[in-house]
Structure 1
Amino acid sequence: MTEPPQTAEPTPPPGGPARTPGATDPAAADPPQSPGAVRRRASLVGAVVSALLVVAIVLGSRLLRDFDSALLPYAVATVFLAFGVAYRYTVWISAPGARRLFRKGWGSFFSVANFRSAPTALPRMIATYLGFQKFLGARSHARWAAHQLIFWGCLLAAAITFPLTWGWFTFTSSTGAGPGYEMRIWGFKILGFDSLSVLGWLMFHGLDIAAVLVIPGAGYFLWRRMKDRGAITGQRFAYDLVPLLALIVISVTGLLLTFSSIFLHGGGYEFLAVLHMVSVVFTLIYIPFGKFFHIVQRPAAVGMQLFKYTSSRKDEGGEVFACRRCGRPIDTAPYVENLQGTMRDLDLGFADWAEYCPRCKRVLRGTAYLDHVKKGFK
C-alpha cells in the first residue's frame, strides 16, 4: 500500500483527542514468542484441559457407575476435542493481533465497571452476536436463516449428546415395566415424565429435532457452494465442503437410526450406528482444525464489540476520534488506538492510516499515485 504523503502533522480537529502515533502500547509489551515455545505451551494447555475433562467425566458419572460403555468412542472423541480446542486457541491468541483482541475483548467481557455503566449491554450482545447473529442478516436473509437452523440444531444436539456421553445425564425407568421415566443429573433426580406424553416424545426425539433443523441449513449452504460463482471461486473442499457434508451425514444417519428402530424393527441398525459414530467422531476431531473453529472464536468477537460499545459510552463527552484530514468522526478513540496498536504489533508500517476516514484514504492514495507514479510518464 502506498504511504500517505509526508507532510507536517496537522493540528487535531476540534473534538478530537491529542494523538501520539508512535507511543508505546502497554498491550504490545510482550516479547515475540518463538513457534516452538508457542507449540509447547499450547500442548501443555491442551493436556491439562483434557485431563480436567477426564476427571469431570469420572466424577460426574459417579465414578463411572452411570457411564455407558457403548458411548466410549464418543467420550474419547470429546477428550480429543478438548485438547484440540485448547491447543488451537492457545496458538491463536499467541499471535500479536489475536492477543490484543483476546485481552481487550475478554477484559471488557469480565469488566465490573462496564457492567455497572451498561448492565444490559452484555446480555444484549450475547443475544445479538452469539444467538441471533443479526450481522448475517445484513448480507442475506436466506444465509441468516440457514445459519440459524444450523446453529440452533447443533446447539441442541450438543446440549443432549455431551452430557449423555459423559454419563452426567441418565434416563431410567421409574416403574420397571411402565412408561414412567426419571431424568437424573449427576445421580440426582431432576424430573419424572411419561414416555408416551408430549414431554416424553420431546425427550427421546431431541436429536431427531436437531437433525431436522440442521439438514435444510447445511443443504442450503451446500447448494450455494455449488451454484454461487463468488462462493465457488474461493472455496476449498476440505475447509468449506467437508464440514457441511459431515453435518448432513450425521443428521441423516441419526434420523435413519430412529427410522430403523420404529419402522424396520431394528433392520440395519448396527451398520447405521457404526456409520453414525464414525461421522460424529470425525467431526468432533475436525472441529478445532477446520472451519468450525470460528465457533470457539466468536465469544472473543462479542467481547470486542462490548469494548467498542462501552468505549463509545465513555467517549460521549467529545472523545470521538476525528479524521486528521477532514475532521469527520471515525470511531471511538480507544478503538482506533487499539487498531493502531495491532498494526504496530504486526509491523505493517501503516498504523497512521487508521487516523483517516475511508474517503480521505482514497484521496491520499490517488494523490500519492499522481505525485509519485504518474509524473514518470510526463
Structure 2
Amino acid sequence: MPEPTEAVAAAPPPPEGPEPPGLPVAPPAARPVAARATLAGTVVSLVLVVAIVLGSRLLRDFDSALLPYAVATVFLAFGVAYRYTVWVSAPGARRLFTKGFGSFFSAENFKKAPTALPKMIATYLGFQKFLGARSRARWAAHQLIFWGCILAALITFPLTWGWFTFTADSGAGPGYEMRIWGIEVLGFDSLNLLGWLMFHGLDIAAVLVIPGASYFLWRRMKDRGAMTGQRFAYDLLPLICLIVISVTGLLLTFSSIFLHGGGYEFLAILHMVSVVFTLIYIPFGKFFHIVQRPAAVGMQLFKYTARQDDQVFACKRCGEPVDTAPYVENLRGTMRDLKLDFDAWAEYCPRCKRVLRGNAYLTHVKKGFK
C-alpha cells in the first residue's frame, strides 16, 4: 500500500484557471428552454399590449384608474407564456401536449364522435364531474370557485383593457349603453333587474367564491390528509388571496351604498393590491393548473376515440383490459423519453404489477435472509 505522500504525488494536478463560481450554473440543456420561454412571454405580452391599445380605440376608452390592473395582466400574460413553454419542454408534458391537442383539433376524431368534444368540455373542463367521485362537498366548493372566477374574469379583463365601456344617456342615468370596442351592443336601465345584474356582476362572483375558498381553507386546516405535505405559498396563499379579493370587493359596494363612500379609498387600494398580487402570482402557483387543464381534455378525447375503435390493450399477464392501446404506447414512449428502463411495466394491470413486484422481492431479496 503506498505511503500517503506517494498517493498525494500520484493524484492528478488541479485544473488550471479561475475557481468555479459559488452560485450554481444552469445546465446547457436548460438555457435554450429558458430563452424560448422568455421569447414566448415577451411576444405574448407585446401582443396583449397591442390588443389593449387597439381594443380601447387607441386608449380613448382606457380608464387610467385601472392602469395597475392592466399592467398586472401584461405580467400575467408573460408569466403564463413563460411557464407554459417551460412545461411543454419536458418530455412527458410535450407528449401530452402534442397528443392531447392533436386529438382536440383532429377532424377524424370529430367525424368518429362529433359530440364527444363538447361533452368532455362540459363535463371534464366545465362541471368537473371527476371531482364528484371523490367528494360531493369538494365538487360543490370547486364549482363555486370555478364559476365565480370565470364570471369575474369575463367582467374584469375587458373592463381593465378598455374593451367594455358603460356610458349614460344623461349625466345621472338611469339609462346606460354597453359598448364593446366602441360599438353599442346593449342598452339597459340601471334601475331594473338587468341593470342591477350588470353593475353587481363582480359582487355575485365574490359571493360564489367566498364559500368555496373558505371550505377548502377550512379543510386544509382541519383534514389530516390535506395537511400532509401542504405548503403555505402553494396551497394556502391562493385561497387567502381569493377570499381577500372577494371580501374587499364586497366592502367597496357596501361602502358606496351604506357608508356614502366612507373608507372607499383605502378599500380600493387594498383591493387593487390583492388583485395585482394574485394576477402576478397565478403563473407560478397552484392556479397554473387552470392553464394546463385543456391539454388534459385533449388526452381524455384521445383515449375516448381509441375506445371507439376497440383499441383496448389487455394485460400481458392476466388478460384484463389496462387502457387503450394508443394510450399505453404513449405512456411507454414517455417513459423512454425520460430514460426509465422499465417501460414494459406499462403493459400490466395494477394488480399484476403488485404481484410481479412481490414475486421479485421473494426471489431476489427475501432469499438473502435465509
Q: Is residue 304 of structure 2 the alignment partner of residue 309 of structure 1?
A: yes
Q: Which residue of 1 aligns with 2:321?
A: 329
Q: Does 2:335 align with 1:343?
A: yes
CA offsets 1:85-116 (integer angstroms, 9 cap, x no match): 00000000000000000000000001011111
Q: Show the counterpart of 1:106.
A: 101
Matches within 5 A, 1:53-132: 53-132=48-127
Q: What residue ranges of structure 1 are gaps of 5+ in the alignment?
A: 1-31
Q: 1:177: Cα distance to partner?
A: 3.3
Q: Give the Cα–Cα distance (whole angstroms) in 2 for the partners of residues 92 and 331 of structure 1.
A: 25
The structure with the largest alpha-carbon Rg is 2
3-state SS of the aligned residue for 2:335? Answer: helix
Q: Which amino acid aligns with 1:108?
A: S
For 2:296, give the aligned amino acid.
A
- How far is the alpha carbon of 1:242 from its aligned partner? 0.3
Matched, 1:223 2:223: no
Match of 1:213 in 2: 208
Correspondence for 1:370: 362
Residue 262 of structure 1 is matched in structure 2 by: 257
Residue 282 of structure 1 pairs with residue 282 of structure 2 = no
**Aligned residue identity for 2:86:** V
The corresponding residue for 1:251 is 246
Q: Which of these residues, 345, 349, 354, is aligned with residue 353 of structure 1?
A: 345
* 2:178 corresponds to: 183
Corresponding residue number in structure 2 for 1:166: 161
**Alpha-carbon distance between aligned partners in 2 of 1:273 and 1:177, rounded to the nearest angstrom:** 23
Task: Measure, in 1, the Cα distance between the counterparts of 2:350 and 2:186.
Answer: 58
Q: Structure 2 unaligned segments of length 5 or more: list them.
A: 1-26
Instruction: In structure 2, give the amino acid aligned to 1:285.
Output: I
Structure 2 residue identity aligned to 1:376: G
Q: Name the CA distance, whole Å, in 1 between partners of 2:173 and 2:256.
A: 19
Structure 1 residue 33 displacement after superposition: 7.9
**In the alignment, is the contact (CA less than 8 A) between 2:70 and 2:160 conserved in 1?**
yes
Q: Report the AA paired with residue 168 of structure 1.
A: W
C-alpha distance after superposition, 1:101-134 (max 9, x if no partner)? 0000000001011111111010000001111000
Partners of 1:228 and 1:180 lie apart in 2 by 51
Residues 306 and 312, structure 2, Cα contact 8 Å, conserved in 1: no
Q: Distance in 2 between matches of 1:328 and 1:219?
A: 43
Deviation, 1:376, is 1.1
Residue aligning to 1:234:
229
Cα displacement string for residues 306-328 of structure 1 (whole angstroms, at most 9, x for unaligned residues): 001011112x2xx3211111112
State the partner residue of 1:36.
31
Deviation per CA, 1:67-100: give whole Å up to 9, x if none: 0000000000000000000000000000000000
Which stretches of structure 1, 4 residues or more, deviate above 3 A after TM superposition?
none
Aligned mates of 1:222, 1:336 — CA distance in 2:
37
Other-structure match for 2:199: 204
1:34 shift after superposition: 1.0
- SS state at 1:191 partner: strand
Inter-CA distance 115–33: structure 2 relative to 1 (3 Å threshold): farther
Is the 8 Å Cα contact of residues 44 and 81 (structure 2) preserved in structure 1? yes
Task: Give a deviation string over 1:208-228, Cα, whole Å, max 9, x none.
Answer: 000000000000000001100
| Alpha-carbon distance in structure 2 between the residues aligned to 1:33 and 1:96 | 17
| 1:257-288 deviation line (CA, Å, top 9, x unaligned) | 00000000000000000000000000000000
Displacement, 1:234? 1.2
Pick from 309, 312, 318: which aligns with 1:320?
A: 312
Closer/same/farther in 2, CA of residues 159 and 33 from structure 1, 3 Å limit: farther
The aligned amino acid for 2:355 is V
Q: How many residues are paired up?
A: 344
CA apart distance, 1:178: 3.2
Q: Aligned partners of 1:352, 1:216: CA distance in 2, in Å?
A: 46
Q: Which amino acid aligns with 2:279?
A: L
Q: Tell me what 1:25 maps to.
A: none
Task: Report the TM-score, using the length of structure 1 for normalisation.
Answer: 0.90
Could you say what the CA RMSD is over the residues aligned between the two structures, in angstroms? 1.0
Identity %: 85
